[in-house]
C-alpha cells in the first residue's frame, strides 16, 4: 500500500510512453471501432493521463492497473491479439483502474469531432441554417407518412369494458388502509421524519 | 442580448424594477414552467413579483450546440444522492434527475411534447381501483376544471396541431417511427402536439430543424419561459428578477403564515426578502427540499407537512428507450428531437396486465450522449456496435404513468452537505410492479414498430436520469391526504403555494409541462382574485 499524500516523493512519478501506448491499446480493444482512426484514441488516452496526473488516487490505480495488464498477459499486453486482449480486459472489468478508464473514455472518446465524422454524425448546424434545407427529411427508403392524427377520430381513453373488469385482488378489502385508500381519501398515520 | 447588466449587485434584481427587501412581496421561487408562467400571469394583472432563481440568466446566443458542454453549462449539478432499486440509482447514483438551473428552468432544455391529460387520469384511484402498494388518490379537480386553462396554455406555448397551429413536417426519425406505427396497426400517430413553431408565431421564427433541443434552442422557435414569459413579465415593469439567488428557507410568523424567504446569492451571502405570499416552483426535488429545510418547532416535519406527504409519492414517469438499427441511413439527429408521438397505447386497458397507459415519442441523441446512456456501464465489441450503427439508428422514448408510492420520496440526506452547508436531497425510488409490467409492454411495442419497417436489430435502453419529476407536494381534497389544495395552496399555511409539478396527485401518461403551465395560469387567476378580495 502506498500513501501518496504522506510521502510527496511518491507523487513524483510520471507515465512512460510505454504506459501511454498500452493505454491506447486498451481503448482500441475496449471500444473497437474500425471506422475510427488513431487520433481520437490517442487524445482520449492523453485525457486519461492528464486526469490521472491531477488525481493521486487515479494515478495510483492507473499505474497499478497497467502493470497488472502486463502481468496477466505474460509480459506485454500490447503483443496480444484482439481476442486475447479482450479476455484480459474482461478479467480486470471490475477494478477501480478499469472503471476509471471506461468512464473517462465513454465521456471523451465520443465527444471527439473525428469520432462523430466516423460515425456519420454532423453535429451543430445552427450556423448553417439548421438541417431544414440540408436533409432533415431526406430519408427515401420509406413512404412519406401523414403528420396529423386521423381526421374525425378520437384517441381511445379507456378500453371497452375496462371499468367493468374485476378489480385487482385487493379490491374486496373493506376498510381503507394506507396503501389502499378510498377514492378520494386515505387514512394515513402521521409520518415522522 | 446578454441579460445581466454590468456592475450587477449579487442577490438583487437584474431588471429595471426592484422591490425593497423589507417590503412584503409576492415571492416566487424558480423561473421554469411553473414559476416563469406564474410570474408573467401575475405581473400582467398588475401584481408585482420577486422571482428568486438559483441559476444564471443565459440566453439563446450563449447556448452551446454540444451535448456535454451544454449540460455542464446549465444542468443542476449540485450534489444529490439516490437510493432504491431503480436502475438510475445504479447507473447515475449522483444524478437522479436532469433539471436545469438557469432562468427559464428546465423549459430551456425540454423538447416540447404537449399532450393533455385525459379525463379519467384525474381519477386514477376511482378508475384503476385498488392497486397494491400504490398510494393512488383522485385529483381534487377534473379535466373540465382545467380545459379552459389547457386552451390558454397551448396558445401561450404555441402547440402545433391545436388552435389552428400547423403541424411540424416529418423528419427522418419520424418517417421510420410513423411507417412502423402504420404497419403494426396503430392509428394515432402525428408530429405533435409540440410546442415549437412550424411557422412564425408569437414573434418567434419557425423551426430550422437544427437538431438541438435538449441544449436550448438558439433559434428561439421552441417555447420556454425564457423566450416568452420572462421577457413579457419584465416588460410590464413589475418583475424583480434575481438570478443566482437560491432560496434556502421560508420563515413564518407566530400565526403560522409565511413571512419571508431567505436566499443565498452567488457569493454565498444570505439575504432576506419579506413576503406576503410565497409560491414555490423549484421542480419536484428542490420544492420539497426547501419546505423540509423550513421545518421549525411549529412545523416539525417541514413547512406545510401536517399530512406527512411532503416529499412522498415522487413520480418520474416510466421511461425507457428503444433503438432500431436499419440497413439504410436514418440520420435521426437532423430535425426536431421529439416531434413524433404514438397515442394508441395511452389508454387505460387493464387487459394488457397493468393500469394506466403510455405514449411512444421519437427521440434522438448525439454520439456523446448515446455512449453515456445507451447501456450504462458497458463496453466491448457489443457496445461499440451500438455506436457503429449510429447513422442507421432510429429512436423512440417511452413515457407512461408510474404509480405513486409513499416510499418513493425526497428526503434530506443529513450525512452529506452541499457547498452551502445544506443537507443534499436524497431521491429514493423503487419501480412498482405495475411500472415494470408497463415498461416491458412498451419495450415490446416499440420493437414491433421498428421490426415492421425492417430493423436488423433493436436495443432497449434503461431510464435516463428523470426529466419528469412529479408529485412530492400533491393536491388533495382533504388536508390529511396531501400537501396542497385544488389551487396549489398549502392546506396548512394559507399564504404558501406550490406552483410546479410537485402538485400532481397522479402522473398520467402525458408529458407534464403543458399541465404544469395550465395549473400555473389557473393559480395566477386564483391568487389575483384572493388578493383582491383580501383573503390572503
Ligand atoms: C431533456 C428534457 C426534455 C424534456 N422534454 C419534455 C417534453 O417534451 N414535454 C414535457 O412536457 N416536458 C418535458 N420535459 C420536462 C420539463 O422540462 C419539466 O416538466 C418542466 O420544466 C418542469 O417545470 P417546473 O416549473 O416544475 O421546474 P423547472 O422548469 O425545472 O424550473 C425550476 C427552477 O427553479 C429553480 N430552483 C430550484 N430550487 C430553487 C431554489 N431553492 N431557489 C431558487 N430557485 C430554485 C431551478 O434552478 C429552475 O430554474 C423535459 C425535460 C428535459 C430535461
Residue A21 included in any domain: yes
Residue A41 included in any domain: yes
Total domains in chain A come to 1
Residue A164 confidence (pLDDT) = 65
CA distance A21 to B204: 52
B36 Cβ inside 6 Å of ligand 1 = no
Task: List phi, psi (to 5°) of B37.
Answer: -65, -45
The count of CB pairs under 8 A between chains A and B is 256
Using CB atoms within 10 Å of the CB of residue A9, give its burial: 0 to 12 exposed, 13 to 18 middle, 19+ buried: exposed
B52 Cβ inside 6 Å of ligand 1 = yes
Using CB atoms within 10 Å of the CB of residue B87, give its burial: 0 to 12 exposed, 13 to 18 middle, 19+ buried: middle
- Kindly determine whether residue B348 and residue A119, on different chains, have CB atoms separated by under 8 Å: no
Using CB atoms within 10 Å of the CB of residue B246, give its burial: 0 to 12 exposed, 13 to 18 middle, 19+ buried: buried
Q: Which residue does chain B place closest to A161, by CA atoms?
A: B349
Q: Cβ(A155)–Cβ(B346) under 8 Å?
A: yes
Q: Cβ(B317)–Cβ(B399) under 8 Å?
A: yes
Q: Closest approach of chain B CAs to the CA of A45, in angstroms? A: 16
Q: Closest approach of chain B CAs to the CA of A161, in angstroms? A: 9
Compute the mean pLDDT over every residue in chain A, rounded to the nearest whole number.
Answer: 85
Mean pLDDT along residues A101-109: 96
* SS3 label, residue A31: coil
B chain contacts of residue A193, beta-carbon cutoff 8 Å: 292, 295, 300-302, 411
Give the mutation target among B76, B513, B520 for probing the ligand 1 site: most ligand atoms within 8 A of CB: B513
- Cell output for B281: 416552483
Greatest CA span in chain B, whole angstroms?
70
- Kindly determine whether residue A170 and residue B132, on different chains, have CB atoms separated by under 8 Å: yes
Residue A2 confidence (pLDDT) = 44
Residue B337 confidence (pLDDT) = 97
B chain contacts of residue A147, beta-carbon cutoff 8 Å: 167-170, 174, 178, 190-191
Residue A11 confidence (pLDDT) = 59
Give the mutation target among B31, B266, B283, B284 for probing the ligand 1 site: most ligand atoms within 8 A of CB: B283
CA distance B523 to A117: 49
Q: Cβ(B354)–Cβ(B134) under 8 Å?
A: no
- Cell output for B507: 402522473
CA distance B110 to B100: 9
Which helix (H) or strand (E) segment holds residue A89: the answer is: helix A82-92
Q: Give the closest of B129, B176, B371 to A106, CB-based.
A: B371
Which helix (H) or strand (E) segment holds residue B239: the answer is: strand B239-242
- Kindly determine whether residue A168 and residue B129, on different chains, have CB atoms separated by under 8 Å: yes
| Residue written as grid cell 450522449 | B369
B264 Cβ inside 6 Å of ligand 1 = no
Task: List phi, psi (to 5°) of B364.
Answer: -140, 145
Residue ranges of alpha helices (H) inside B351-501 are: 367-373, 381-388, 433-452
Sequence-distant (6+) residues with CB within 8 A of B141 are: B122, B475, B486
- Kindly determine whether residue A137 and residue B210, on different chains, have CB atoms separated by under 8 Å: no
B chain contacts of residue A144, beta-carbon cutoff 8 Å: 170, 175
Residue A120 confidence (pLDDT) = 98
Mutate to test the interface with B, among A85, A93, A142 (most CBs of B within 10 A): A142
Count other C-beta atoms under 10 Å from residue B109's C-beta: 24
CA distance B260 to B495: 11
Between these two residues, B24 and A168, which has the higher pLDDT value?
A: B24
- Kindly determine whether residue B132 and residue A182, on different chains, have CB atoms separated by under 8 Å: no
Q: Closest approach of chain B CAs to the CA of A9, in angstroms? A: 32
| Residue written as grid cell 491479439 | A81
B111 Cβ inside 6 Å of ligand 1 = yes
Q: Is the pLDDT of residue A5 over 60?
A: no
DSSP annotation of B117 reads: P
Q: Give the closest of B175, B178, B379 to A30, CB-based.
A: B379
Give per-residue pLDDT as tens, A84-98.
999 999 999 999 999
- Cell output for B189: 400517430
Residue A17 confidence (pLDDT) = 92
Sequence-distant (6+) residues with CB within 8 A of B382 are: none
B chain contacts of residue A156, beta-carbon cutoff 8 Å: 344, 347
Residue B56 Cα to ligand 1 middle (Å): 14
Q: Give the closest of A34, A156, A157 to B119, CB-based.
A: A157
Mean pLDDT along residues A179-187: 51
Which three-class secondary structure string do you get for B320-379? CEEEEECCCCCCCCCCCCCCCEECCCCCECHHHCCCCCEEEEECCCCHHHHHHHCCCCCC
Using alpha carbons, select from B119, B349, B126, B350 the residue that is nearest to residue A159: B349
pLDDT < 70 stretches in chain B: 1-3
Strand partners, B279: B28, B497
Confidence of residue A173 (pLDDT cuts 50, 70, 90): very low
Q: Cβ(B341)–Cβ(B160) under 8 Å?
A: no
Residue A161 confidence (pLDDT) = 80
Sequence-distant (6+) residues with CB within 8 A of A111 are: B66, B67, B68, B367, B368
Residue A3 included in any domain: no
Q: Which residue does chain A place closest to B353, by CA atoms?
A: A168
Using alpha carbons, select from B312, B311, B305 the residue that is nearest to residue B483: B305
B95 Cβ inside 6 Å of ligand 1 = no
CA distance B256 to A28: 64
Residue A50 included in any domain: yes
Sequence-distant (6+) residues with CB within 8 A of A149 are: A155, B161, B187, B188, B189, B190, B343
Q: Give the closest of B138, B169, B383 to A183, CB-based.
A: B138
Provide the residue count of chain A: 193
Q: Is the peptide bond before B193 cis (omega within 30 degrees of 0)?
A: yes
- Cell output for B415: 450525512
Q: Cβ(B510)–Cβ(B359) under 8 Å?
A: yes
Residue B1 confidence (pLDDT) = 43
Strands B239-242 and B49-52, sheet pairing:
parallel
Residue A177 confidence (pLDDT) = 47
Residue A177 included in any domain: no
Q: Give the closest of B309, B390, B480 to A121, CB-based.
A: B390
Confidence of residue A1 (pLDDT cuts 50, 70, 90): very low
Q: Cβ(B396)–Cβ(B360) under 8 Å?
A: yes
Residue B225 confidence (pLDDT) = 98
B chain contacts of residue A132, beta-carbon cutoff 8 Å: 207-210
B32 Cβ inside 6 Å of ligand 1 = yes
Residue A55 confidence (pLDDT) = 87
Residue B419 Cα to ligand 1 middle (Å): 22
Which residues constitute the domain of residue A50? 17-111
Residue A163 confidence (pLDDT) = 75
B chain contacts of residue A187, beta-carbon cutoff 8 Å: 480
Q: Give the closest of A136, A144, A181 to B335, CB-based.
A: A136
Q: Closest approach of chain B CAs to the CA of A135, in angstroms? A: 7
Q: Cβ(B322)–Cβ(B168) under 8 Å?
A: no
- Cell output for B404: 405513486
CA distance B379 to B383: 5
Residue B32 Cα to ligand 1 middle (Å): 5
Amino acid at each position: 500500500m502506498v500513501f501518496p499524500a504522506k510521502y510527496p516523493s511518491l507523487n513524483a512519478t510520471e507515465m512512460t510512453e510505454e504506459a501511454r501506448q498500452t493505454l491506447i491499446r486498451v481503448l482500441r480493444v475496449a471500444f473497437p471501432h474500425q471506422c475510427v482512426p488513431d487520433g481520437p484514441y490517442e487524445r482520449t488516452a492523453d485525457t486519461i493521463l492528464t486526469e490521472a496526473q491531477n488525481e493521486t488516487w487515479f494515478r495510483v490505480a492507473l499505474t497499478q492497473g497497467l502493470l497488472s495488464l502486463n502481468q496477466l498477459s505474460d509480459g506485454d499486453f500490447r503483443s496480444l491479439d484482439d481476442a486475447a486482449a479482450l479476455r484480459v480486459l474482461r478479467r480486470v472489468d471490475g477494478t477501480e483502474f478499469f472503471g476509471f478508464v471506461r468512464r473517462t473514455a465513454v465521456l471523451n472518446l465520443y465527444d471527439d469531432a473525428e469520432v462523430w465524422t466516423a460515425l456519420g454524425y454532423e453535429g451543430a448546424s445552427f450556423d448553417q441554417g439548421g438541417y431544414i434545407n440540408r436533409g432533415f427529411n431526406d430519408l427515401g427508403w420509406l413512404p412519406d407518412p401523414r403528420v396529423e392524427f386521423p381526421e374525425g377520430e378520437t384517441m381511445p381513453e379507456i378500453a371497452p369494458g375496462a371499468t367493468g373488469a374485476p378489480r385487482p385482488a385487493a379490491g374486496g378489502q373493506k376498510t381503507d388502509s394506507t396503501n389502499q385508500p378510498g377514492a378520494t381519501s386515505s387514512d394515513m398515520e402521521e409520518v415522522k421524519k | 442580448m446578454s441579460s445581466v447588466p454590468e456592475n450587477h449587485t449579487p442577490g438583487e434584481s437584474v431588471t429595471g424594477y426592484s422591490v425593497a427587501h423589507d417590503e412584503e412581496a409576492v415571492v416566487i421561487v424558480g423561473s421554469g414552467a411553473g414559476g416563469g408562467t406564474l410570474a408573467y400571469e401575475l405581473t400582467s394583472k398588475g401584481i408585482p413579483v420577486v422571482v428568486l432563481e438559483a441559476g444564471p440568466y443565459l440566453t439563446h446566443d450563449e447556448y452551446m450546440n454540444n451535448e456535454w458542454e451544454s449540460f455542464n453549462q446549465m444542468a443542476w449539478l449540485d450534489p444529490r444522492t439516490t437510493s432504491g432499486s431503480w436502475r438510475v440509482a445504479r447507473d447515475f447514483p449522483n444524478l437522479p434527475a436532469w433539471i436545469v438551473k438557469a432562468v427559464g428552468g428546465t423549459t430551456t432544455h425540454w423538447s416540447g411534447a404537449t399532450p393533455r391529460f385525459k379525463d379519467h387520469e384525474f381519477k386514477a384511484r376511482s378508475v384503476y381501483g385498488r392497486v397494491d402498494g400504490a398510494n393512488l388518490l383522485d385529483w381534487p379537480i377534473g379535466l373540465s376544471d382545467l380545459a379552459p386553462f389547457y386552451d390558454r396554455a397551448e396558445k401561450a406555448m404555441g402547440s402545433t396541431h391545436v388552435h389552428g397551429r400547423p403541424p411540424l413536417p416529418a423528419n427522418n426519425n419520424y418517417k421510420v417511427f410513423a411507417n412502423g406505427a402504420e404497419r403494426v396497426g396503430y392509428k394515432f400517430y402525428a408530429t405533435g402536439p409540440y410546442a415549437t413553431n412550424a411557422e412564425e408565431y408569437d414573434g418567434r421564427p419557425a423551426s430550422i430543424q437544427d437538431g438541438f433541443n435538449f441544449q436550448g434552442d438558439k433559434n428561439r422557435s421552441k417555447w420556454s419561459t425564457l423566450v416568452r414569459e420572462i421577457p413579457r413579465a419584465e416588460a410590464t415593469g413589475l418583475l424583480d428578477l434575481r438570478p443566482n439567488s437560491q432560496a434556502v428557507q421560508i420563515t413564518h410568523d407566530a400565526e403560522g403564515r409565511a413571512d419571508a424567504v431567505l436566499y443565498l446569492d452567488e457569493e454565498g451571502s444570505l439575504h432576506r426578502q419579506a413576503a406576503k405570499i410565497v409560491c414555490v416552483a423549484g421542480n419536484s426535488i428542490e420544492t420539497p427540499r426547501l419546505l423540509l429545510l423550513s421545518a421549525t418547532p411549529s412545523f416539525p416535519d417541514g413547512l406545510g407537512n401536517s399530512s406527512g406527504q411532503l416529499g412522498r409519492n415522487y413520480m418520474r414517469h416510466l421511461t425507457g428507450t428503444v433503438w432500431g438499427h436499419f440497413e439504410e441511413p436514418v440520420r435521426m439527429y437532423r430535425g426536431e428531437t421529439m416531434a413524433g408521438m404514438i397515442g394508441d397505447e395511452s389508454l387505460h386497458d387493464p387487459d394488457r396486465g397493468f393500469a394506466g397507459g403510455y405514449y411512444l415519442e421519437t427521440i434522438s441523441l448525439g454520439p456523446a450522449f448515446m455512449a453515456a446512456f445507451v447501456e450504462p456501464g458497458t463496453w466491448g465489441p457489443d457496445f461499440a456496435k451500438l455506436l457503429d450503427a449510429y447513422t442507421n439508428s432510429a429512436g423512440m422514448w417511452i413515457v407512461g404513468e408510474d404509480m405513486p408510492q409513499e416510499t418513493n420520496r425526497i428526503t434530506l440526506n443529513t450525512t452529506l452537505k452541499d457547498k452551502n452547508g445544506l443537507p443534499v436531497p436524497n431521491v429514493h425510488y423503487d419501480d412498482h410492479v405495475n411500472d415494470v409490467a408497463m415498461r416491458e409492454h412498451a419495450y415490446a411495442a416499440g420493437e414491433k414498430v421498428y421490426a415492421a419497417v425492417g430493423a436488423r436489430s433493436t436495443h432497449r435502453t434503461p431510464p435516463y436520469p428523470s426529466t419528469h419529476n412529479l408529485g412530492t407536494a400533491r393536491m388533495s381534497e382533504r388536508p390529511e391526504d396531501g400537501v396542497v389544495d385544488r389551487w396549489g395552496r398549502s392546506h396548512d399555511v394559507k399564504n404558501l403555494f406550490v406552483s410546479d409539478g410537485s402538485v400532481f396527485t397522479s402522473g398520467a401518461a402525458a408529458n407534464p409541462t403543458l399541465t404544469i403551465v395550465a395549473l400555473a395560469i389557473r393559480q395566477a387567476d386564483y391568487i389575483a382574485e384572493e388578493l383582491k378580495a383580501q383573503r390572503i
